[in-house]
Structure 1
Amino acid sequence: MARVRQKPLPASVANAHPTEAPSSSRVFGVYELLEAILLYLPMRFLLLAQGVNRCWKATIDSSKPIQCALFFLPRDPDSEPVKNELIEKVFARFFRMTLLTYHWTKKDFKCIIKLKTTRDLFGKGWKNTNASWRKMLMIQPPVFTLEITDNRVAPDYHDCFNDPVNNKEGVRLADLLVLEDTFKDEDGDSCRCAECTTVKNERMWKERKHRNLEAFRLNEPPHSRG
């Protein structure tokens, strides 16, 4: 039987150390480098990256910057307010979010969540208590009060027909379920004109303004007072 002559191995393979890993594996094996690379991913792909392997999932789960980017952990209170665009896009047929900022400061803002009329507002998928997206913050930095108003009852007296949901760790997507169960009519339809309003620091700003006004009055010269 004739022998088959084997071709020589390429120099790069022949000279490689048997335990030497590819350069990409070495980069991804460094926690800080992998974290920095993952932070460049859009939110949707960052969530999907958890399924690549155990190393990537462990990095994503343990990284505070990544958890903040995924709206699982709160950002710096002084950071610019931003909506959870992934949640807004995925659940666009159920509600619409509007973020209102004030020109005098970036720390004070309001977000209105307009619920849309539907028989089952969020569907059966929302009932999955183990779903990770239920823990997502609605807004960054987080707000701590979510209020819904039923305008069908008395549009001119909406302050009398509301029900707040408070979460000291920040209002999350699952908190909307409480409001959905509370505001349903006899036919099971969700409120037609329901508004969920999240407010952060608005009351604090009013108190600060009041204190500043008092301090100004105390410093006024006597002849300037009425």
Structure 2
Amino acid sequence: MSSAQNHVLSTPELLEAILARLPPVDLLLVQRISRDVSSLITSSPILQQKLFFRPVPPKPSGEWTLNSLLRNKLLPWFVSTDDRWCMPSYDTLEHLDWARDLKARDAFLCKDASWRKMFPVQPPPQSLRIVEIRTGQRGKYVREAMIPFSTGVTMDVLYDIPWEYLTSERASEFSLQINGCPG
């Protein structure tokens, strides 16, 4: 390696500027290069924001950026519909790529998995409104809860709440909507 390359790779500010240009999926993978690169990515506020681990400040326009890393793995959490018959169900979850293989499922669902700490969108919502709607012979039953989050709603909460509900109520469906987030 030339001395110019060594200089760039050993200068954290230059390396950070280069890494910031990578797509998020590549930024995650490049951490495997070395402990130094991994440490830089973990300690850099800019790179952590790009990976949806740290919140970005709200934009004056109110625009949101969807976390494509999570969307690709957890599509039912990123599809919104008002049509009850098209909402994701427990069966939908069973057909996700990572859910088909027991070993892959165990690795993905590990309580310490990094995706659990990610924000689904940037800037992250500061509260989560949960609405449960049941329809039966006695009519419609609606229950609501609002949960505030000081640093923003992370994917672990968005995953665990519907998962607990769907695994206890196999016939149920779910839909998530982030108010103000362009569809």
TM-score, normalised by the number of residues in structure 2: 0.73
1:61-76 matched pairs, under 5 angstroms: 61-76=42-57
Q: What residue number does 2:90 align with?
A: 118
Q: What residue number does 2:144 align with?
A: 162
* RMSD over aligned Cα atoms: 2.9
Q: Does 1:85 align with 2:65?
A: no
2:66–2:121: 8 Å Cα contact kept in structure 1?
yes
In the TM superposition, residue 165 of structure 1 has moved relative to its aligned partner by 4.0
Structure 2 residue identity aligned to 1:25: N
More helix as a share of residues:
2
Q: Does 1:44 align with 2:29?
A: no
More strand as a share of residues:
1
Q: CA distance change for structure 1 residues 72 and 145 in 2, over 3 Å: closer, same or farther?
A: same
SS in structure 2 at match of 1:197: coil
Match of 2:128 among 138, 146, 170: 146
Q: What residue number does 1:198 align with?
A: 178
Q: Measure, in 1, the Cα distance between the counterparts of 2:114 and 2:167.
A: 29
1:61–1:67: 8 Å Cα contact kept in structure 2?
yes
Structure 1 residue identity aligned to 2:130: I
In the TM superposition, residue 198 of structure 1 has moved relative to its aligned partner by 3.1
1:153–1:161: 8 Å Cα contact kept in structure 2?
no
Q: Measure, in 2, the Cα distance between the counterparts of 1:180 and 1:22.
A: 53
Q: Measure, in 2, the Cα distance between the counterparts of 1:195 and 1:173.
A: 14
Q: Which moved more, 1:162-171 or 1:132-141?
A: 162-171
Q: Measure, in 1, the Cα distance between the counterparts of 2:87 and 2:15.
A: 39
Structure 2 residue identity aligned to 1:168: S
Q: CA distance change for structure 1 residues 83 and 115 in 2, over 3 Å: closer, same or farther?
A: farther
In the TM superposition, residue 119 of structure 1 has moved relative to its aligned partner by 4.1
Q: Measure, in 2, the Cα distance between the counterparts of 1:125 and 1:166.
A: 29
Structure 1 residue identity aligned to 2:21: Y
2:90–2:167: 8 Å Cα contact kept in structure 1?
no
1:70–1:136: 8 Å Cα contact kept in structure 2?
yes
In the TM superposition, residue 115 of structure 1 has moved relative to its aligned partner by 5.7
SS in structure 2 at match of 1:77: coil
Q: Name stretches of at least 5 consecutive residues in structure 1 with no aligned partner.
A: 1-19, 99-113, 201-226
Larger Rg: 1
Match of 2:9 among 16, 28, 41: 28
Structure 2 residue identity aligned to 1:88: R
Q: Name stretches of at least 5 consecutive residues in structure 2 with no aligned partner.
A: 81-85, 94-98, 100-104
1:148–1:197: 8 Å Cα contact kept in structure 2?
no
Q: What residue number does 1:102 align with?
A: none
**Count of residues paired in the alignment:** 161
TM-score, normalised by the number of residues in structure 1: 0.61
